[in-house]
Structure 1
Amino acid sequence: MAEAAAVFAGKAVVQPAITYLVKKIVDRIPDGDLCKRLQQKLPFVEAILYAVDRQQTLSNPSLSEVVWQLRDAIQEAEDALDTLEFLDLKSSANNRSKVSLSSLLSSISRKFHVADSSRATENLKDALKNLDAVLDNAGRSLPAIYPSSCSHGKAHIQDSASIQEVTKELRTTIFGRLKEKDAIIDWLGVLTPNIRDQKLSLCAIVGAGGMGKTTLAQFVCQDKKVQDHFANKIIWADVSKIFDPKVLVRKISGSFNRYKASADGLDTIMTDKFLLVLDDARDDAQSERWQQFLDLIRKNAPMGGKILLTTQIRPVANAVEGQMPPDTYKCLELGGLDQENTLKLFNHHAFGDLSPSDCFELQLIGEQIARKLKGCPLLARTIGRHLQGNTDHARWNTILNHDIHKVDDVATEIKKVLRLSYESLSNEVQVCFRYCSIFPPHYKFKMEEMVEMWKLHLPKTTVSRIAQIGSLTTLRELNGFSVKRTDGHKITELKDLRKLQKVIVLDVQNVIDHTEASDAELDKKSDLKVLSLEWCADQASCDGRILNKLVPDSNLKHLVISGYNGTRPPLWMESKYFSNLVYLKLDGCVEWDKLPPFGYLWTLKHLFLKNLPKLEYIASSSYSTVVYGYRDTSPDVLPPHLITFVVKNCLGLSELPSLPFSLRYLDIDRVGMSSLPTMCTHMGRRRVSLVESQLSILNVESCNLLVSLNGFLQEEHCRVLTVLSLVCCHMLISLPDASDFKRMSKLESIRIIECNRLSSLGGLEALSHLKILRIEHCANLVTTSSRLPPASDESTYLKLETLEIDDHQLLAISPIRNLCLTKKLIILEREKMAELPLEWLLQNRSHLEHIEISNAELLKSLPNMHEWHTLRSMLLHNTPLLQSLPLMPPNLWVLDINGCCNELHGECQSGGSEWSKICRIHSCNITPKI
């Protein structure tokens, strides 16, 4: 039934389906109360489908059960109604003595098995009662199953246009668009006011999705000249999918006056010049609505005003143009960025603050990728972020040589961004969009064909559960093939799947013996690139011969062995066997106490060793000779071209082997070592002095025996280290001194968390490029700060972008107390703060842009800030004792004070004693404590 199928198509179809049933039933069943109850319960259906639209059913069995109960109840009611209509049709046919039609209906009647209309009526009544009960059950269970759906309901119905609000504050770096920005600023009359300022004028920015229309509008609004010109009259409203003039006026009023929003509140807003941004307009069907809206604006704007409208749809701009005099309308067609700025934007997100010249080969590939993007900022930003930190040339080339929409990871990230646009479509268009997505690009279909089609959603692992999967000999992927001891599910099903490229084999403990394992013939699958062998955690002891017989083809690139409880690795994991292995993960092999050396794996770039509690060492050459029976000529224990090395939960491992110079990411977590590993002292025939280490990210966590970083960080090989993270290293006492830190000229971010014995930050002031410093739960540092003498006049030239601490007393330790160029201060205060650290703030006020305090429960007042010209945002949380505000910084853009007393909240409303201090702040949110 179409209406039953619509349960999975969205509320635009389901609600009409139930309404249709109710209307058809009214004349047949005298129980009007039942029909009325069904109509009243439609909001439950909307809430359920809101959750389904966000794909909650796959991960939420309870919600899935409710959805299926609803579908079955609707189908049952429809079948009963169809039966009654069929009996009516049959009776009519008999009366007309239409033999051919009667014959046809007789054949159909066998399907329904209904004797008379009275029984059919009872069936229909029973079906409606069942539907009523299902909706009752949905209403009771939905808050527990999916709370956000319930909170969605009324707000969504009352004002769908308010679902998404684009931030007014620009949070991204802009490349290009200066010409367009200048054109808009010139149109605004900021620099050269003219007679057009006395009239209501509108500029429409029209462009395809992802071209940066909203970003350009934000770029203009945050220009200092624009802000000064319009004072506090810059108003932002998201038009979204429903264009209702009254709703939009209410939103405009609310955007300016947070405490009193009404449909007739424009007169107090538009008495002076103003800039109104209408973002993402989509409704072009009702030009009279635009006329109604613009007439309201004109009526309340005697001094004129400016409206900046962004839209993807050219007919929207045309509809608005028809309501504006020619000399008051401007249209800006926003195309793609030029090649130079597209590349700059891509490089900014792909390489961060690193110079692309540091990765010359990737830079060349990046230039070719940027040319494919056709100037689209969304694609440049999304793909750049996707590749950030990824130095695998193969991955970059994959994106270069394939259509963007065919690269799974990139396509997923782009879809997340575009989903906002999808949710702004009307419900009817969303349903159409989903149906149309069934067809491949450029496929020609007939409308009647599309309506007939169904779309089936299946988890990726569903195909793998099909019995006798081995009959599908052309399969390329099996994501989660669960081995069982029953026919049709044994591992031998893999034998004839010669074209497999990826297989994840679960429950390998169910392989009966090594003969059965050998019959899977994994080594004869030359196309196999990804293999994962996973054992269940509660398995009995394993026969080592089974794993030895599960030998893959030597061209394998990606190998995972997980949960195996045999005593040693398989013989085929010896280094000479694999010629193309790139990724190796060994996880949960709890009985392994040693590993073979990996030095022969020349192609291996990513190595993960996790949950190997008995592992004592990664073997030397002598171990490899004894166990594997080949002569070792490689002095390296780790692969020479390794990029990523992760070791976690290996408490028996007392030391790590020497690290290759190619390594870029090192993550050590819960390892029983007392010192960090060293770099290799040889590079084959090349001299070490001619080779630079590539290590850029070092994470060390929960290494309770680690006392010092000396040795490793003192080497010459940490020159390109950019990120250092130290977490739960409880025995660590101090950081390296200034002479060691000075060599780390590219270190940008340091994170220190729960290092309880740390008493000194060492020579941190020598890090000339440090941008982010985060310190939390380091109690000894706080204690040390209380014993330090007063700060000296000597300042440090550290230019921190962000300083994040959890105790304001840390501002008294060296070198933090000498900072004077900090841009952002975040104090996630555990203790109650009674006053702001005024001395430190004054020391940094010429550069400080953002202040955030999480727990200001004892804070009674704020210092005078009217001369803090660089401060753009201030957030204070939990401020019940704060009674008044000082003069605010002149360029403050965002002020957020929550948890304040009711008195302060009242005085900050329009007309209150504090209103004059905050009325010019663009985004101001002051909320009382509940």
Structure 2
Amino acid sequence: MEAKNANLIKKHNLRSLSLSWPVSRDLSWRISSNESSSHQNDEEILSALQPHSNLKKLCIFDYQGLMFPYWMMDLLLPNLVEISLENCERCHQLPPLGKLRFLKVLNICRISALKYIDDTFYGDMESSFPSLEVLSIREALCLEEWTTANGREHFPLLSSLTIESCPKLVKLPMIQSLKQLYIRGTNVTLLTPLIMNATVLTSLQISDFNELPDGLLQNQKQLDTLSVLSCSLKSSSDLLDNLSCLKYLNIQGCSIESLPAGLQNLSSLKSLDLDCDSLVSLPVNGLQGLCSLSSLYILSGNSLASLSEGLQYLTSLQDLFINGCPRLTSLPRSIQHLTLLSLLDINGCSNLMSLPQGVRNLNALETLRIRGCPHLKRRCKKVRGEDWPNIAHIPSIDIFNQDW
């Protein structure tokens, strides 16, 4: 057999191994009458490709066997540091990877037959996954339960967890050491226990949830970065309450007309990205507490018709991006109070008629970029444009890539 002739078990200097099966045959094994021989062939090939025990990184792609080979199940690769198992659709059980003392990164993706991650996954070690730092489980569409290690310590060093597109998953272990959590397209009942138990989170991304439970982030005193993507977010939500350490906030693709009231309490916030088509307005008083904000990005589609005069409270603002707001006809006069503003970028605001006269008072403004704003293009023409006196002091002006 060609696989056996590779004699990988003798290659003691081999540190990284990637094994991939042809993607083009994915459909054929589903409809072939020889389906059983297809997966048996894969199992025989992978069994024959046992690498040397010195291997540190193993990646397996598009394997269609029903089970992993003995050298994975018996853990004959004790020095592994990183494992990726992707598109191994028919495997219904994971190897006892918890016994790998040096494993730091584990990526599991598209294992459709996997329904349960049970005690065998952890092995019989007193401490399972003692070195694991990064774990990702994605597109496990049939996964229902991920149980704990029956009283034994597990994941003591795990700092980053990704759970994506696992719609049937209703149970998973609570991991207190998490610092980064990315969760998307899973059962909403997982959110509260998972996040409430992870009390040292510094970065959190939540995506594709129809509703977010109240009190979800009440324990997150160390949260530094928060992204809320494609969720149904209510203006009355308490999501942003008590996040005194939050520095970076991204709200994108959420069905929300106005921002949660807790925004005004984010005194440490440095960067705010808003990309929501339904956003109608920015709160006048809601911006008052953002004394540390240095970067603001706004993209709101057809809903946003005006910007809040509350911009005047953003006294630390250095970068302002206004993108894709065709209903916007003017900028607030209070923009003149943004004395530290160094970059103003306006893109796709086709009905924006002019720039406020107060722009001429922005002595720190170094760069002005304007694209997709036909009225501004005309008014900001060098010397001849009506708004030219307001922007003539700016060192770098870029309008439709014209060289100034």
User: Is contact 1:833–1:855 with CA below 8 Å preserved after alignment?
Assistant: no
- Tell me how far apart the structure 2 counterparts of residues 656 and 706 of structure 1 sit (CA, whole Å): 16
- Tell me how far apart the structure 2 counterparts of residues 909 and 831 of structure 1 sit (CA, whole Å): 30
Q: What CA deviation, in whole Å up to 9, does each residue of 1:346-403 have, x standing for no partner?
A: xxxxxxxxxxxxxxxxxxxxxxxxxxxxxxxxxxxxxxxxxxxxxxxxxxxxxxxxxx
Q: How does 1:671-750 map to 2 (within 5 A)?
A: 671-674=166-169, 677-679=172-174, 693=177, 695-703=178-186, 705-707=187-189, 709-715=191-197, 717-719=198-200, 721-728=201-208, 730-734=209-213, 736-737=215-216, 739-742=218-221, 745=222, 747-750=223-226
Flag the 1:866–1:812 CA change in 2: closer, same or farther, 3 A: closer
- Aligned to 1:862, what secondary structure does the other structure show? coil
Choose the corresponding residue for 1:856, options 325, 347, 351. 325
Instruction: Determine the structure 2 residue equivalent to 1:663.
Output: 158
- Aligned to 1:725, what secondary structure does the other structure show? strand
Flag the 1:907–1:529 CA change in 2: closer, same or farther, 3 A: closer
- Aligned to 1:586, what secondary structure does the other structure show? strand
- Aligned to 2:85, what secondary structure does the other structure show? strand
Relative to its length, the structure with more strand (as a share) is 2
- Tell me how far apart the structure 1 counterparts of residues 235 and 352 of structure 2 sit (CA, whole Å): 34
Choose the corresponding residue for 1:616, options 102, 115, 134. 115
Instruction: Determine the structure 2 residue equivalent to 1:209.
Output: none
Flag the 1:856–1:536 CA change in 2: closer, same or farther, 3 A: closer
- Tell me how far apart the structure 1 counterparts of residues 110 and 250 of structure 2 sit (CA, whole Å): 29
Q: TM-score, normalised on structure 1? A: 0.38
Instruction: Determine the structure 1 residue equivalent to 2:68.
Output: 569
- Tell me how far apart the structure 2 counterparts of residues 723 and 907 of structure 1 sit (CA, whole Å): 41
Deviation at 1:536, TM superposition (A): 1.9
Flag the 1:816–1:594 CA change in 2: closer, same or farther, 3 A: farther
Choose the corresponding residue for 2:40, options 521, 539, 542. 542
- Aligned to 2:19, what secondary structure does the other structure show? strand
Deviation at 1:755, TM superposition (A): 1.5
Relative to its length, the structure with more helix (as a share) is 1
User: Is contact 1:523–1:551 with CA below 8 Å preserved after alignment?
Assistant: yes
Instruction: Determine the structure 1 residue equivalent to 2:275.
Output: 806
User: Is contact 1:532–1:561 with CA below 8 Å preserved after alignment?
Assistant: yes
Flag the 1:872–1:536 CA change in 2: closer, same or farther, 3 A: same
Instruction: Determine the structure 1 residue equivalent to 2:304.
Output: 833
Deviation at 1:835, TM superposition (A): 1.9
Q: What CA deviation, in whole Å up to 9, does each residue of 1:130-154 have, x standing for no partner?
A: xxxxxxxxxxxxxxxxxxxxxxxxx
| Count of aligned pairs between the two proteins | 378
Q: What CA deviation, in whole Å up to 9, does each residue of 1:736-786 have, x standing for no partner?
A: 4564122xx2x221111111366765342322221111111111x33xx49
Q: What CA deviation, in whole Å up to 9, does each residue of 1:21-52 have, x standing for no partner?
A: xxxxxxxxxxxxxxxxxxxxxxxxxxxxxxxx
Choose the corresponding residue for 1:768, options 232, 235, 244. 244
User: Is contact 1:575–1:600 with CA below 8 Å preserved after alignment?
Assistant: no
- Tell me how far apart the structure 2 counterparts of residues 549 and 727 of structure 1 sit (CA, whole Å): 41
Flag the 1:674–1:757 CA change in 2: closer, same or farther, 3 A: farther
Matched, 1:881 2:351: yes
- Tell me how far apart the structure 2 counterparts of residues 549 and 753 of structure 1 sit (CA, whole Å): 44
Instruction: Determine the structure 1 residue equivalent to 2:32.
Output: none
- Aligned to 2:183, what secondary structure does the other structure show? strand
- Tell me how far apart the structure 1 counterparts of residues 60 and 373 of structure 2 sit (CA, whole Å): 55
Percent of matched pairs sharing the same residue = 28
Q: What CA deviation, in whole Å up to 9, does each residue of 1:183-233 have, x standing for no partner?
A: xxxxxxxxxxxxxxxxxxxxxxxxxxxxxxxxxxxxxxxxxxxxxxxxxxx
Deviation at 1:699, TM superposition (A): 1.1
User: Is contact 1:709–1:736 with CA below 8 Å preserved after alignment?
Assistant: no
User: Is contact 1:871–1:892 with CA below 8 Å preserved after alignment?
Assistant: yes
Matched, 1:559 2:35: no
Which has the bigger relative contact order, CA under 8 A and spacing at least 6? 2
Deviation at 1:612, TM superposition (A): 0.4
User: Is contact 1:566–1:591 with CA below 8 Å preserved after alignment?
Assistant: yes
Instruction: Determine the structure 1 residue equivalent to 2:232.
Output: 756
User: Is contact 1:900–1:927 with CA below 8 Å preserved after alignment?
Assistant: no
Please give the root-mean-square deviation of Cα atoms over the aligned residues, in Å.
Answer: 3.2
Deviation at 1:796, TM superposition (A): 1.8
Unpaired runs of 5+ residues, structure 2, are 30-37, 149-153
Flag the 1:528–1:702 CA change in 2: closer, same or farther, 3 A: same
Instruction: Determine the structure 2 residue equivalent to 1:823.
Output: 294
- Tell me how far apart the structure 1 counterparts of residues 380 and 212 of structure 2 sit (CA, whole Å): 50
Matched, 1:918 2:391: yes
Letter in 2 for 1:542: Q
Deviation at 1:667, TM superposition (A): 1.5
Deviation at 1:592, TM superposition (A): 1.0
User: Is contact 2:281–2:304 with CA below 8 Å preserved after alignment?
Assistant: no
Q: How does 1:384-395 map to 2 (within 5 A)?
A: none
